[in-house]
Structure 1
Amino acid sequence: MRVSFMICCEYANRFMNGAPALLGIFRSIQVDSFPTTLDPFYLTMELEAEPHEYGPMVFLIRLIDEDGRAYFEAEMGMDFAKRENYGPSYGYFGEVLQATRPIEKPGIYRIDLLHEGEVIGQTHIEVFKRDLDRDSND
């Protein structure tokens, strides 16, 4: 099992052919002050399962800070087709992520995807205070 991509964006959907459609991809979030509550955003990913990895599987999504404190945890399920003669099977996921507790300080926050207790993919978002002086000069 591996994660082909894991992306944060403002909106996610799928075209009729199954291809992902991602809008407003970002790696950072600017806020006015801390503590703050993050607006909901989409977490999207593509998972690749080897031929021997098929059937329903459960994953854990976790948003943590640099000190390991969790701000969001949720399980997600995905069903992979058995394709022994064809190679790997792919699954797409796109769901709204909402931090369940206020973000206390600026920093790099990590989003992990775990399967059977092991981190199989991750991405990062930086949360920082908006520079109001710089914004007013633009």
Structure 2
Amino acid sequence: MIIALAVVCDHALIDQSGKLSVIGIFERIWVERFPAVHPRLHLVLRLKGRRTEIGDHPIVITLKDEAGREVLRGEGAVQIGEPPAGITEVEAGAVLAFDVPLEHPGLYTFDIVVDGKHQAAVPVTVSQMPAPAPQSPRSPLN
């Protein structure tokens, strides 16, 4: 199995036919102050493999900060179903939603392990919003 796509976005879904729709891909989160929680971040994966790889594939996802501290961890499995006759390549999508606690600014990374092998790293930079610029005083109207 390989990961053909791994992104972070605002929203994603997989329809009944298996079509993956992804909205609002991003790599940076702006925060007013720390600590903060970014609500409903979606991590989207598209896995591909050979016909011989049908079945369940264990997956482990961890989010770590720059110092390597684990912020989030999730474990599960992606199931690859049997494709129609004549199809040699299989694929499956996964959409995972997280409320992400952010203790400080910096680089955070989603590490994705499938079948015990590190397959992808998805970086997200977290920054503090700049202070608003001071407004100049208004002059009275005549």
**Fold conserved between structures, TM > 0.5:** yes
RMSD: 2.0
* 1:88, distance to aligned residue in structure 2 (A): 2.0
SS in 2 for 1:52: helix
Which residues of structure 2 form unaligned runs of 5+? 136-142
- The structure richer in strand per residue is 2
Query: How many equivalent pairs are there?
Result: 133
* 1:7, distance to aligned residue in structure 2 (A): 1.2
Letter in 2 for 1:96: A
Task: State TM-score, norm by structure 1.
Answer: 0.85
Identity %: 23
1:103 corresponding residue in structure 2? 102
* 1:17, distance to aligned residue in structure 2 (A): 3.4
SS in 2 for 1:3: strand
Alignment of 1:52-63 (within 5 A): 52-63=52-63
2:139 corresponding residue in structure 1? none
2:93 corresponding residue in structure 1? 92
Asked whether the equivalents of residues 72 and 98 of structure 1 are also in contact (C-alpha less than 8 Å), the reply is no
Task: State TM-score, norm by structure 2.
Answer: 0.82
Distance in 2 (CA, whole Å) between partners of 1:116 and 1:20 is: 22
Letter in 2 for 1:131: P
1:50 corresponding residue in structure 2? 50
Deviates more, 1:3-12 or 1:15-24: 15-24
